[in-house]
Amino acid sequence: MGVPPDWATKPHDDLEPGIEVRLNDDGTIDEIVTAQPVKFHLEQMDDGIYWIGLNWRDEEGNDRMQHVTLSTARKAPIYPAVYT
């Protein structure tokens, strides 16, 4: 796997309150977590590039949103695994 770009491994202080992106030691995404009830939208934008949109209402009743872009090495696809 290649070296992740600087913007991917910098502290993510641009995230909205209530959204947390947890990283592995190598800077790759481990988890994206929210404690809020949210609308979740995942869309493939290009080969190996995926977009996540999260929308929710905060404690004060304001509509909030956060976007996260995922980019895989060598334009690798992501395959679904469904479980409950």
Check whether 4 has a pLDDT greater than 60: no
Q: Residue 22: which pLDDT band, with cuts at 50, 70 and 90?
A: confident
Which one has a higher pLDDT value, 3 or 26? Answer: 26
Cβ-based neighbours of 45, under 8 Å, separated by 6 or more: 51, 69
What local confidence, expressed as pLDDT, does residue 75 receive? 78
Which one has a higher pLDDT value, 45 or 27? Answer: 45
Which one has a higher pLDDT value, 70 or 80? Answer: 70
Check whether 1 has a pLDDT greater than 50: no
Angle CA(19)–CA(33)–CA(36) in degrees, nearest 5? 65
Which one has a higher pLDDT value, 7 or 23? Answer: 23
